[in-house]
Chain A
Amino acid sequence: MGFFQELLHKSRMKSPWLIHFDCGSCNGCDIEVLACLTPVYDVERFGVLNIGNPKHADILVVSGTVNPRNAKVLKNIYDQMPEPKAVIAIGACGTSGGVFREAYNVLGGVDKVIPVDVYVPGCPSKPEAIIDGVVLALEKLKVRQPEKNTEPLVADLKKAREFYENREERQVTG
């Protein structure tokens, strides 16, 4: 059994799939995140893919200060990701709200909404720093032993059905 555990941990390190979400950033950090995918930095060498689907992703990369409206969306995306997962807060805004911390609409950092594993400071963060942050998050993912989902499948499906039926109350807009 030890061999399969080792294989699984190695594969988790070698295949980090990212989803990037912008919580009201000026897009400076977002551009640096996307710059990591270009041939100059080329994170695909490490197996990193910018998968846009939270259900497929391991690492949530969040930039921007969070405001009350997109806090709901951020929590929604975080909940959709299956375990094991990690969160990286990028930039001064994601870390603590940056210079906008005192503004009336700003919650002040990603860790006010979801648990953050890695903070990458900078304004904007350098791509090298972002890559370092991803590697740190992978180290945390490797040692993480998430609680297995022990609920029986039928109860899980029933919850999913009720969640779908209550979608009107959860609507953010309109």
Chain B
Amino acid sequence: MDFKTFSFVILAVILAPIAGGLLAGIDRRLTAWFQGRFGPPILQPFYDVIKLLGKDRQVVNYWQIFCVHIYLISAVLCVALFAMQADLLMIFFVMTIGAVFMVVGAMAVPSPYSQLGAQRELIQMLTYEPLLIIVFVGIYLVTGSFKIDDILTYERPIFLMLPLLYLVLTFALTIKLRKSPFDISTSHHAHQEVVRGVLTEYSGPYLAILEIAHWYEIVLILAICGLFWSTSWIGLVVLLALTYMAEIIIDNVTPRMTWKWMLTYVWAVGISLSFFNMALLYAKSL
């Protein structure tokens, strides 16, 4: 690995949580603006995390500590792999390992809220993972490779050929950001759903580590969204800004739905949209 890639990786690993935290702060500010109030300062997520790091440790089970650290390591590794411009499928699998370990940590506790949240988190993963694989296959069909350095050399923005697949990716983004209508296991802004869902039994410094890992994952998924307009910086920023704005608006407008609705709707709409987009691709090439 040459010096340039190494410095990219170090920069990405250091800057990603800062960017994720600032994004979370801007999110709360914008949500408050939509709701007709002022919101907390933009640095608020950092104050939350530092406060949580200073709290007393209260665990039920040593599995919780282990799983929280594995989740953080997997999130950091995914961002590092993206900076190294590695294979998209590898990034997907490392991401899955982290998410599964968070669920295992929640399931290691006999609290009913934690168990319910963990089962719901598994159903969420079941919902978005096939769609994410379909999006990666769509990118492969257009650019001919799963590796990010090959995708970045494609001369046109991929969004022009795969607009419907971008919609499918935003389903996965909504679920990962824990925003309505898909905030089934634990919600970003609704703080009392099923006590706290999958996050119920994590507290203090472990909750802080989970939050930092969540920031890494947000940056990763937004980076995957950014692959869809990798040719120009302005296009990239505009695409990501519009996507995130749409997420916040939809979060404020929709209620929290049931897991059955989420599974059926996202699979039906996601697979149909993917099918249409792939058919369009083949029709164009004919």
Where the two chains meet, the residues of A that have a C-beta atom closer than 8 Å to any C-beta of B are 7-8, 10-12, 14-15, 17, 38-39, 42, 44-47, 49-53, 55-56, 58, 80, 82-84, 146, 148-149, 153, 156-157, 160, 164
Per the bound structure, the CA–CA distance linking A47 and B57 in Å amounts to 22
Complexed CA–CA distance, A2 and B55 (Å): 18
Contacting pair A52 B48 (CB below 8 A): no
- Across chains A and B, which 6 residue pairs bring their CB atoms closest together, nearest first? A52-B192, A39-B37, A55-B203, A11-B50, A82-B56, A14-B47
Q: Is the CB of A8 within 8 A of B201?
A: no
- CB pair B50 A7 closer than 8 Å: yes
| Partner-binding segment picked from B59-67, B89-97, B123-131, B260-268 | B59-67
User: In the bound complex, do residue B58 and residue A82 qualify as a contact, i.e. CB atoms below 8 Å apart?
Assistant: yes
| B40 proximal to A (CB < 8 A) | yes
B110 close to A11 (CB less than 8 A): no
- CB contacts (< 8 Å) of B201 on chain A: these are 55
- A157 to B61, Cβ gap below 8 A? yes
The residue in chain A whose Cβ has the minimal distance to the Cβ of B28 is A44
Residues of A within 8 A of B241 (CB): none
A44 to B48, CA, bound (A): 13
CB of B200 within 8 A of CB of A47, answer no
Among A15, A53, A164, the residue within 8 A (CB) of B51 is A15
A20 to chain B, nearest CB (A): 10
Alpha-carbon gap, A15 to B36, bound state (A): 21
Other A-B pairs, 16, CB within 8 Å; known A8-B53, A56-B196: A11-B50, A14-B44, A15-B44, A17-B48, A42-B37, A53-B195, A55-B58, A55-B203, A56-B199, A56-B207, A58-B55, A83-B56, A156-B59, A160-B59, A164-B60, A164-B110
A83 with B55: in contact, given A15-B44, A47-B44 (CB under 8 Å)? yes
| Chain B, residue nearest A80 (CB) | B58
Quote the shortest CB–CB distance from A81 to chain B (angstroms): 9
B122 within 8 A of A: no
> How large, as a class, is the contact surface on chain B?
35 or more
Total contacts A-B at CB 8 Å: 99
Looking at the assembled complex, report how far the CB atom of B186 sits from the nearest CB atom of chain A, in whole angstroms: 10
Asked if B32 lies at the interface with its beta carbon under 8 angstroms from chain A, I say yes
Contact of A11 among B35, B47, B57 (CB under 8 A): B47
B157 located at the interface, meaning its Cβ lies under 8 Å from any Cβ of chain A in the complex: no
Q: Which residues in B have some Cβ–Cβ distance to A below 8 Å?
A: 28, 32, 35-41, 44, 46-48, 50-51, 53-62, 110, 191-192, 195-196, 199-204, 207
**Given contacts A15-B44, A45-B39, are A50 and B207 in contact (CB under 8 A)?**
no
Let me know if A84 and B38 touch, CB within 8 A. Answer: no
Min CB–CB distance A82 → chain B (angstroms): 4
Chain B residues with CB below 8 A from A14, complex form: 41, 44, 47, 51
Measured CA separation A12–B49 after assembly (Å): 10
21 A–B contact pairs at CB < 8 A?
A8-B51, A10-B47, A11-B46, A11-B47, A11-B54, A15-B51, A17-B48, A39-B36, A42-B38, A44-B37, A45-B37, A47-B44, A47-B48, A56-B199, A80-B58, A82-B55, A82-B203, A84-B55, A149-B57, A157-B61, A164-B110
- Give bound CA distance, A51 to B191, whole Å: 5
Q: Which residues of B contact A46 (CB under 8 A)?
A: 40
A42 to B60, CA, bound (A): 35
Interface-central residue, A17, A38, A44, by most chain B CB under 10 Å: A44
Closest A residue, CB atoms, query B44: A47
Measured CA separation A51–B204 after assembly (Å): 13
The smallest beta-carbon distance between A50 and chain B, in angstroms, is 6
Alpha-carbon distance between A12 and B203 when the two chains are bound, in angstroms: 15
Residues in chain A near residue B110, CB distance under 8 A: 164
Interface centre among A15, A46, A157, A160 (most CB of B within 10 A): A15
**How far apart are A123's CB and chain B's nearest CB, in angstroms?**
26
**Contact (A53, B196) CB under 8 Å given A39-B35, A157-B59:** yes
Task: Give Cα distance in the complex from A95 to B173, angstroms.
Answer: 47
Contact partner of A44 (CB less than 8 A), chosen from B40, B200, B204, is B40
B196 partner residues in chain A, CB cutoff 8 A: 51-53, 56
Nearest Cβ in chain B — how far from A143, in angstroms? 14
The interface residues of chain B lying within 8 Å CB-to-CB of A82 are: 55-58, 203-204
